[in-house]
Amino acid sequence: MDNILIFFVKQKKLALVLTISIIVLGLFTLNSIQRDKFPAVDFEVMTIVTAYPGASPEDVEQNVTNLIEDELRSISGIDKFSSTSKEGKSSIVIILSQDVDDIEPLKQEIRNVVNRIKSLPEEVNGFPWIVDQKNSLKSILKINISSDNLSYQVLRDIIDDMSESLSLVKGVSKVIKEGYLDREFQIRVNPDSLYQHKLSLPQVIKAIKNRNKRYTVGNNNDINEKTIVVLAKFDEIEAVSNVIIKSTFDGPVIRLKDIAKITSENKKETSIIRVNGTKGFILSIHKQEHADVITTVDLVKDKVLELEAKYPTSLKFFYSSDESNHVRNRLNIVTNNGLIGLLLVLIILALFLSFKTAFWVSIGLPVSLLGTVSLLGVTGETINLVSLAAMILILGIVVDDSIVVAESIHHYKQLGKDRYQSTILGFKRVIAPVITTILTTILAFSSMFFMSGTMGKFIYVIPLVVIFSLTLSFLEVSLALPAHLASSDEKTKEKIWFMRIEVWFEGFLTEVLKWRYSVVFIFSIVLIGSLYFAKTQMKYVQFPIVGADSIDARLNMPIGTSLERTESISKQVEKIIIEVVGEDLDSLTNNIGHYFTNVAKFSIELVPSSIRVETSKSLLAKLKKRVKDIKFAQELKFSISRPGPSQGEDVEINLIGSDNIQRQNAADTLEKILLGIDGIDNIERDDESGKARIEVVIDFEKMSRFDVDFSVVDDYLKAVFTGTNVTSVRYGDNNVYFRIYLGSDKQSKNFLTLLKINNRQGRPIPLKQFVSLKKIKGEPNFNHFNGQRSVMFSGSVDDEVTTSGEVISQALKQLDLVSKYPAIQMTSEGGNKDTKKTMDSFKKAFIMAIFSIFLLLILLFNSYSQPILVLIAVPFSIIGVIWAFFLHGETLSFFAILGTLALVGVIVNDSLIMVTHLNYLKVKLASTMSVYKWVAQGAKDRLRAVVLTTLTTLAGVIPLAYGIGGTDFILQPMALSLGYGLLFGTLMTLVLLPCLYLINHELINWLKKTFG
């Protein structure tokens, strides 16, 4: 074995090539690896959207949503589905089961089932639109285009041209046009002309449909065979005007232009999108799944610059919702803080060890991290928030392994041994515990592989990074580092200043060991008190609002407010937002009428937190104070969008049941309860009434006596109110529809009472003879959960006052569904449910990981009690995390837990090596030295390595914790918990652990004496 070690120790050229190769390969990969905001995740969620123009919410529910949901019930593998039936549109969200091994066949089965539904109403536009939800396919950039003097038609042609050009850019999957009104030919039939020429509306519709055709009838069967094609398609608006509606031998020819006015118009504007206070066109750029977000955005901007030169100079361009900015910013922050940390690590190591030793130990960091980047590229992973977080987490453990090996070699060099002999002895002395520490850390982090829910999908890359980094770290410390250190023939001098500290520490610990039971008692009291304080005084929030990059707002006008009026008031809100947010504003998107014409929703994107003047929380407070300035608004709410993966609202409570009365009563009660709970804001329910409507009540008995066909009545009514698509022609890449209307675009209130409908004999019958009109309250959107009607409540939580779990628990206790509303069921959705699901699965996996570590330590120590000594370090290390977060005014969060997990890895490593060394001294010195002295000496021997691990880890994470190289509020809690937890963990390793070891030693000896 020694001969093999000597061989590798002497291969300094191989070690140098290995080190340089990994670094160079990592740098090359760094330039080509995909960069993104988050890992590419398939949420296993599908949405089905069906357009049913002009239909009321209940009509959409009955004629579209119910049909699709009935088919979905027959598919196994669906966890749950929910739907919203709103005016003109059905939306169904399907959550697939986590237990399905192969998800793609299930997705295809859903597509097949939906596409084979044949009983949807004729008015439904095309097939239902089925979308697979993947975060990697989201919009990465929005291009906003407007002009003060170009016509809408010219602008639309430019948008079409730009969309086509940008869709060909490398990395772009699709370009979606927003704020874009499709062109349509409007045929406005004059009712009086119909009556005059004794025509009916169905006749007109049939004539237009029959005229607009192109088809092949066959071949001419000649020697020179040719295909015979009948061309009757409309090629220009005049062709439509000349369609013959009625013709007889002895009467006049009635053409469409004789009874109708045909114009080329835009489709009716049903919603408005404004960006940064400007109304115009928006091109939303979506990247391909494996495209780099920064490269793709840069290529798109270069293409826009190229296209801009050929368009009119009056055209205005600006960008918004640029995802590459956040990715660039985070990469810069981590890189800057990493370089600062690496420099500090080098300085600290040089103070304790020789400069050459410090240099080669420091090189282990870029080797492990850049090597990990290479492996991430090979496995198809990306550089993103989560993988960067994992690299920061692993810093301390990677440095710890290198320090342990280097310090052991350094120790033998100080004893005056040959450099090769020192290297081999030092390496052999610690390699077993180093391997064990690597395996224990991998086991601890591997518990994340088993986390469920949305969060589990996002963080699976963390254990992957840990495994890659520690594997490379092991190769570095076992193959390269010994050879690097052995190649140095420098004379190692003891650091006099540190020798004095070691002598003092040995004497101090010798005295402390005499009070070991009191020390353990004090530490235990501190632990119990800290845990109690954390449970009662501190709150856990998955993703705190600190560092959030966006704020949402919702403007509610009185029901029935027109789209134009809502837009007018929303402009006032825009001015307030721009004024308050100021230079912290990146972009402001105002979406008016997407849900109801009286509702406007705002998305306020902020500049990255590292360059922001004010926090998102202070901006939110200022915006809320300005709500009173909007005089005519019924309601204006602002809320912060939490950073991290999308998990819904903070609080989502869904009341489900077919009993409409009980469900409505329960919803009204729940709303009052939520309004009375402190700390919850922006409470919304999804069953609010829409605009008032006019119901056409048909007397079917009278209609039958007049011999009027109901389908004809349907045609007339649709043509009066919303128009009916008759046929279409192809212009470029778009279908342009011919839409027929009856009457002018500004009908008087009594128009319906004057309308006449032809019966089966062709005689005009006044509609008022068998129809009456009734004004009724507007319908709400109809929502379903697993096919049953439901009401969803949502709200945002103030983290300083309460948590999502507390709000839901308090609300449901007061509601008391079981006794008061037995027909109603409840589900808790949103961030709270996903948090609980994720953490429950993590706890189970972590317990299994701890048990596996326990078995591994039994194998190393051949003892039952000593593994417990090592693992008992885990709860004590949390004391520093609790008080660090309290004193810094931070909220315990998911990233704080990640930092604590990394902290546990470092503490376990230090404890494991401490116990190993004490065992070594016990065998060597127990017979010649008192137990107090050899335990104190053992702790003194490990003092330099422990202090070095603490200081170098702190040097690596403190720049990020305090934003020295740029602030990242998401990664900051992780660095804070790792840094300050390690400070207290060092005290625990150097003081508490020797006390526990001595107590354990005495206990074992007592048991041997007592029981033989």
Regarding beta strands 550-556 and 635-641, do their DSSP bridges make them parallel or antiparallel, or are they unpaired? antiparallel
CA distance 454 to 835: 9
pLDDT digits (tens, 9 = 90+) for 748-764: 556 777 788 888 888 88
Q: Are 831 and 804 in contact (CB under 8 A)?
A: yes
* Integer Cα distance of 914 and 998 in angstroms: 13
The pLDDT of 967-983, averaged and rounded, is: 82
CATH number of 494-537+863-1011: 1.20.1640.10
pLDDT number for residue 228: 47
First vs last Cα of the chain: how many Å apart? 38
Separation of alpha carbons 180 and 74, rounded Å: 38
In the structure, what pLDDT confidence band is assigned to residue 493 with cuts at 50, 70 and 90? low
The CATH number given to 200-216+230-258+697-772 is 3.30.2090.10
Rounded Cα distance between 788 and 808, Å, is: 22
* CA-to-CA dists, residue 761 to 79, 197, 205, 699, 757, angstroms: 55, 15, 18, 20, 11
Residues in the chain: 1012
Q: Is the per-residue pLDDT at 302 higher than 90?
A: yes
Q: Do domains 494-537+863-1011 and 548-641 have the same CATH topology?
A: no
Tokens 């004059």 map to which residue? 190
* C-alpha span between 995 and 780 (Å, rounded): 69
Q: For the segment 976-996, what is each residue's pLDDT rounded down to a tens digit?
A: 888 888 888 888 888 999 999
- With beta carbons less than 8 A apart as the criterion, state whether 389 and 895 touch: yes
Structure confidence by residue, pLDDT tens digits, 776-789 = 777 788 899 988 99
Pairing of β 788-797 and β 139-146: unpaired
**Percent above pLDDT 90 for the chain:** 10
- Give the tens place of pLDDT for each residue, 158-191: 888 899 999 999 989 889 888 777 788 888 988 8
Give the whole-angstrom CA distance, residue 594 versus residue 887. 45
Over residues 643-657, the pLDDT tens digits come to 766 666 778 888 998
Query: Helices 894-925 and 419-446 meet at what angle, rounded to 10?
Result: 140
Q: Give the dihedral of Cα atoms 561, 565, 568, 573; nearest 10 deg.
A: -10
Which helix (DSSP H) or strand (DSSP E) does residue 81 occupy? strand 78-86
Residue 443 has pLDDT above 80, yes or no: yes
Distant-in-sequence, close-in-space partners of 987: CB < 8 Å, separation ≥ 6: none
* Token digits of residue 714: 């349907």
Tokens 């009456």 locate to 772
Q: In a 10 Å sphere around its CB, with 0-12 CB exposed, 13-18 middle and 19+ buried, how is residue 105 labelled?
A: exposed
**pLDDT single digits (tens) 28-63:** 988 888 888 878 777 788 899 998 877 888 889 999
pLDDT band, very low/low/confident/very high, at 235 (cuts 50, 70, 90): low
Helices (H), 608-686: 616-625, 660-675
Helices and strands in the chain, H and E counts: 35, 33
Of 3.10.20.30, 1.20.1070.10, 3.30.70.1430, 3.30.9.10, which CATH number belongs to 548-641? 3.30.70.1430
Residue 134 belongs to what H/E stretch? strand 129-134
Residue 43 CB partners (closer than 8 Å, separation 6+): 133, 134, 135, 454, 457
Q: What is the pLDDT of residue 733?
A: 65
The answer to whether residue 218 scores a pLDDT higher than 70 is no
What are the backbone angles phi and psi of residue 576, rounded to the nearest 5°? -65, -45
pLDDT higher than 60, residue 686: yes
Statement: residue 229 has pLDDT above 50:
no
Ramachandran angles phi, psi of 828, nearest 5°: -105, 115
Do residues 606 and 631 make contact, with C-beta atoms less than 8 angstroms apart?
Answer: no
Alpha helical stretches, state H, 33-144? 57-60, 66-72, 103-115
For helices 873-888 and 516-537, angle between their N-to-C axes, nearest 10 degrees? 50
pLDDT digits (tens, 9 = 90+) for 806-819: 888 888 888 888 88
CA–CA separation, 232 and 974 (whole Å)? 70
CATH 3.30.70.1320 applies to domain 42-182+268-321? yes
Rounded Cα–Cα distance for residues 323 and 325 (Å): 5
- pTM of the shown model: 0.77
In the chain, what are the domain boundaries?
A: 1-32+353-493, 42-182+268-321, 200-216+230-258+697-772, 494-537+863-1011, 548-641
Give the list of residues 6+ apart from residue 104 with CB closer than 8 angstroms, or none: none
681 pLDDT exceeds 70? yes
Distance (Å, rounded) from C-alpha 970 to C-alpha 330? 10
pLDDT at 220: 53
Instruction: Identify the DSSP state of 474.
Output: H
Phi and psi (nearest 5°) for 724?
A: -130, 130
- Tell me the C-alpha distance between 599 and 293, whole Å: 33
Confidence bin at 492 (pLDDT 50/70/90)? low
Region 150-165: what's the mean pLDDT? Answer: 86
Tokens of residue 185, six digits: 């030919």
CA distance 768 to 780: 29
Averaged pLDDT for residues 503-514: 90
Beta bridge partners of 771: 698
pLDDT digits (tens, 9 = 90+) for 458-484: 788 888 988 999 899 888 888 888 888
Tell me, what's the pLDDT at 569?
A: 92
Q: Which residue has the tokens 């993590």?
A: 842
> Is 235:212 a contact under the CB 8 Å cutoff?
no
Quote the CA–CA distance of 370 and 249 in Å, as a whole number.
88
Tokens 């304790």 correspond to what residue?
Answer: 352
Answer whether 128's CB lies under 8 Å from 68's CB.
yes
Phi-psi region of 656 (alpha: psi -120 to 50; beta: other; left: phi over 0): beta
Highest mean pLDDT among 109-118, 330-339, 392-401: 109-118
How does DSSP assign 326-372, residue by residue?
A: HHHHHHHHHHHHHHHHHHHHHHHHHHHS-HHHHHHHHHHHHHHHHHH
pLDDT digits (tens, 9 = 90+) for 736-751: 888 888 887 766 556 7
| Gap between the Cα atoms of 804 and 794, Å rounded | 11
734 in Cβ contact with 185 (< 8 Å): no
Specify the fold of 1-32+353-493. Answer: Multidrug efflux transporter AcrB transmembrane fold (1.20.1640)
Question: Is the pLDDT assigned to residue 266 strictly greater than 60?
Answer: yes
